[in-house]
Structure 1
């Protein structure tokens, strides 16, 4: 079997490569999809815009969860434990209002 036929070439445009800063993710779901809204909260500004929305199948959401977990473990092995600030309970970094899309 030729591996070159099975490879996918991924293109990254300059605009997407810049990335989008987010300090809040709102995760909701239905029976067929997970929706992750990435939001940017700014001090003193009452409105927080959704900067990006990602829609995933449940299977891909679970794969993403495992991939993030694996990468956090690798990060912490190299750089040390990631601390979370318990004082930020008023605005958690990830929340699922109602859990429905």
Structure 2
């Protein structure tokens, strides 16, 4: 029997969602860049490492404007639920400085 949390309802039809072990591990990202055209939104998830001037795009997601708006609503809903359970998320500055300062001292090789 399938776990009900692995199903998404699309209209009246359930959609089974498969999550492979590789994808379940996730990809760490500490920066996202968003671009759009009249027909799609492109979200690049980037990993920026301290002391390394070149950041790498680790994943690119392309979606329709409708799905981008749904994602925004879902993120807002989840952030609201998170803050109700764990308290307000403390943001740093509105816009991070580049290059980002990860704190600590710079290492040398």
TM-score range, shorter chain: 0.7 to 0.9
Distance of aligned partners of 1:10 and 1:87 in 2 relative to their CA distance in 1, 3 Å threshold: closer
Q: Which has the higher strand share?
A: 2
RMSD: 2.0
With CA pairs under 8 Å and 6+ residues apart, which has the higher RCO, 1 or 2?
1
Q: Distance in 2 between matches of 1:19 and 1:65?
A: 20
Corresponding position of 2:22: 15
Structure 2: 5+ residue stretches without partners: 1-8, 99-109
Runs of 4+ in 1 over 3 A off after TM superposition: none
Provide the aligned length of Structure 1 versus Structure 2. Answer: 89
* Structure exhibiting the larger radius of gyration computed from Cα positions: 2
1:37 and 2:47 equivalent?
no
Report the alpha carbon displacement of residue 90 of structure 1 after superposing the two structures with TM.
Answer: 1.6
Instruction: Classify the secondary structure of the residue corresponding to 2:61.
Output: strand
Instruction: Spell out the pairing of 1:1-101 with structure 2 (5 A cutoff).
Output: 6-86=13-93, 89-91=96-98
Report the alpha carbon displacement of residue 88 of structure 1 after superposing the two structures with TM.
Answer: 5.5
Instruction: Classify the secondary structure of the residue corresponding to 2:16.
Output: coil
Structure 1 length-normalised TM: 0.82
